[in-house]
Structures are given as structure tokens and as C-alpha cells.
Chain A
Amino acid sequence: MTGENKFFKYLKIVIGFLVAILFLLPIFILLMDSFKNQRGILTDVLGWPNPFIFDNYPKAMEKMNFFNSLWNSVWITVVSTALILLFSSMAAWVLVRYKTKISKVMFILFAVALLIPFQCVMLPLMSIMGSKEVFSITLGDATFALNGLNILNPFGLVFTYLGFGCSMAIMLYHGFIKGVPEELEEAAMIDGCSMFKTFWKIVFPLLSPINTTVAILQIMWIWNDYLLPSLVLKEQSWYTLPLQTSKFFSTFTSSWDIATAALILSMLPVVIFYLIAQKKIIKGVVDGAIK
């Protein structure tokens, strides 16, 4: 190895370290602060905990009803992601393979839907999901009224995530499926597969790299989402982890000590999941990038 090459090799390592520190430092500060009391945090945010307090964690778990909200977060994230993967992959496959005018228009609609900010559709969406009358029309003596779907609950939230998540997922799947040789599906049809079997037995297994990519993006979004659950979930017992952590911040006071512990607790499941599935996730992302 020449001197210049060695220099660049070490430079890359140093830059890598600096970037890692940049990303990990806030988490480290958060972790340290979660072992301090309120006074300790306000007087010395960056310092080592003195005294070292563990009480924040049990308090946070109790106040945020941790296991209940963890369960809510987990099942809402898992079910929503699974449904997004399922419906988006099937929809994208049909849009790629059946080139009709309708399929082209639908694809454009999905692409355009990506550009609409959530805030624009937030209010009409809530009125449609609520139980009140959305609109009414009077023709002569008769009045026709359309009421909301009355789905302001976790199932409604999952349904909404499916709607909001599928646009981007379909775009990602669409690009990937275009690279899957059509002959494989033709061979499957000749071998005896119906359309449904062709998808399940041949196409879907080939999508695993992009499945991983889509799943990561959706999980990150749904797990951390605050706005949509705050609008849809009315009852405390339905709250997800981000909603529960918001309890510790109010207009006049913030319980930083318990809040930091709560934030660490809500982060923990995803970090553990990542550490377990690390190899598979990285392989999926890399394969997706190559494709």
C-alpha cells in the first residue's frame, strides 16, 4: 500500500468516527440525562450524572403506562407495515405488468399523492374518520346526509397508515418489479400457477430486498409518528409511545428527568429489533441498492 493510500484509508476511518459521534452524541446525552434528576439536568445537561438516579425509569414506566402503550405501538406498527407491504407489492405488480390506460393514470395518482403534505388533508380526513355528518344535500323535501366512518380508533389508524404509506411503497416496488424478468412469471403460468400463486410463490419471494427497504422506512415513520395518532386515538388506553412521552411536556412545565427516561424506553424496542435483525436489514438495503 502506498503512503497516499494509507493516508486516505486513515482519513476515511477518522471521518467515519466523527460522523458516528455526531449521530450518537445526542443519544448519549439523552441516556446520561435519564439518570439525572430534574435539577441535575437543568444545571448540567452534558455532564456525568451526579447523583446517579435509576428512579426515572420506573416512574416513566408507570406514568406512561409503558407496557400498554408499547403493545399499542408494536401492533399498530407491525400490522400497518405488513398491510402496506402486502397491498403495495400486489398493486405495484399489477401496475407494472398490466399496461392499460387506467394503470398509467393510477400510477400517476400514486406519484402525485406523494407530493401532498399531510397537513393539507388532515382536517377533511378527520371529519371523514369521525362519526359526525360530513355533508348533506337537500333535494326538495328529502335530505341526504353522509356521516363519517366513525373509525377514530387504532384500527382506523392502521387503515390511515395504509392509505398514506402505500404511495411511496408502490413507487419503490414499481421500480424494483420492473427489473424482475417477466419470463419467470410466464414460466410459472406454464408450470401451473394461477395469477395469485404466481405472485405468492414466485414474485413475492423475489421482492425480499425491497420488502426490507420498504419495511424499514415504514417502521421508522409509524413508530415515531406523533401527529396522526394524536388526531385519531381518542382514548388514553389506545395511546402509542410517542403520545405517552408527550405527556411529560406541558405549556408551563417539563419533567425532563422522567421524559428522558421515557424517550430512551420508547427508543429501546426499535434498537433491540435492529440489533437482532441487523444482518438481514443491511443485506436487504444493499441488495435493494444494487437492484
Chain B
Amino acid sequence: MLEISISKKLLGATGIIDFEVTCNFEKGEFWTIFGESGIGKTTLLRMIAGLETPDNGSITMDGEIWFDSKKRINLSPQKRKVGFVFQNYALFENMSVLENLLFAQPNKNITKAEEILEVMGLLVLKERLPNTLSGGQRQRVALARSIAQEPKVLLLDEPLSALDAMTRSRLQDELKKTHEIFKLASLMVSHDRSEVFKLSDQVLWLKEGKVFQKGKPKEIFLSKTSSSKFSFEGEILDIEKRDIIYVVTIGIDKQIVEVVVDEMEVKELQVGSIVNVSTKAFAPIIKVR
């Protein structure tokens, strides 16, 4: 189990943030660190990896102290055994796919490395250099490489954010599958709700540097302030008066929807505002295409 209780002053987009997080992560659980950008999600991963130092607190992995400000212990990243999948994947461009894995292994073992590549469908690419791979393949190699490290905890910093929607959805399935095979404690940073929902067992929702909520994604995302079950975030693109009603056009992800509102409500709405669109689970109609 990874036990974290740390604080650090961060320079965020809106000034100094008092980052303060306490949380325990069990082995085999897939956690998502969720929240707006610039509130220290990535920094949290980096502090766990030892790439940044908290001001105060402690980080303990299976009883082994990685960081303790009181005892003045701060293990280097080399000694912590974390697998880190960076946003840009950080593949070693001068090494082939297989060499990337061999370099990552604590003890070079070609058979093991090839097994991992096999499981992830990368074996045919083993001789290729990273710059000849597609974005999705690079991502998978990065994941395979971090697994080859035999880490105690896997840290994923928005691993799918650089990919197109199709590839992302496919890799989400694959990430889930990979997690189920290797059963590592995994922490992923994401601000994509559907991704969080699809992948994670637990969510750590950060707001302004503090834990806002933690728990199962269903409990957290569906029970925010209303009992609505059909709920999306979107941006108002247009507001138009028709007859005595108003039609608000809202962009939700890549879809555009129209919602009818009353003149009293329209006063609070502005083009460009981010809004929550919801309806009851009873109203939507589902048709098979």
C-alpha cells in the first residue's frame, strides 16, 4: 500500500496554491487523480516518483519510507521503484522498442521483455525505433516499458491526452486490460470524466490543491448536487429567442445539442459559459443505429 500525506506550496496559474493531500492507495487498484489543470495533479505524481520534493509530510510504500520530512528521509527516484509514463512518453529515441524495455528492466531479461511486448501486441515492432511509430504505438511502448521496470506503483500522467478520440478509446480498453493482467497499484492523472469512469476503481478529485472528494467514480460523478442521471458538461455556443421560448445551443464534447429554456433562466446564461446539461434518466430515448 502506498500511503501519502504531503503538503507543498505550488505556484499555480492563479497564484500560490497550498497543496495538501492525504490518501492511501491499495495494490491492484486503479486510481485517477482528477481535477482542473494547474492544481498539482502532475506534481503529486512527480512527488511520489521523487522527481519533486514535498515541503512537509511523508510517503510510505509497503512500510518502506520514501519520504519523511521529520526524519529527513528523501529517497532518490532511482531507489523508489516507480514506473512513470510521461505525457510525451519520453521514449529513448536512440534505442529500439526492445532496447527501451531492456534499459528499463532492473535485470536485463530478453525473454521477460518479449513476453510483455507479446501481451501488449508489440512484439512485431520490437526492432523499430520510436520515431517510426504512431502516437498510439508510442503510448503502448511507454506503458510496456514502465511495466518492464517491475515497479511497485505505476504513475500515468495524462497518458492518452495526445491521441485522437478513436485511438484514445481503444487504448483506454487496452490500459484497463493491461491493468487487470499486471495488477499494479496505478495512479493516472486525467481530466476526462468519461475516461475516469471507464478506467478507474477509485477517484481522487482535487480542487484548489485539496482533496475535494474521493471514492468510486459512480458515487462521485453521479451524485454531485442533483439527482439527475443524464448529465454532461458543455459550452454555450448560441442563445436564440424563438416564439416565447429560448433555444440554447450547447457543445458537449464533439456533439452539439439544443436545449429549450424559459426567459427567466436565459438571463443567467451567456455564450461561452461552461454549463452542466442534465435531464432525468426517464426522459432520453435510446435507438439502436
A and B together in one complex: no
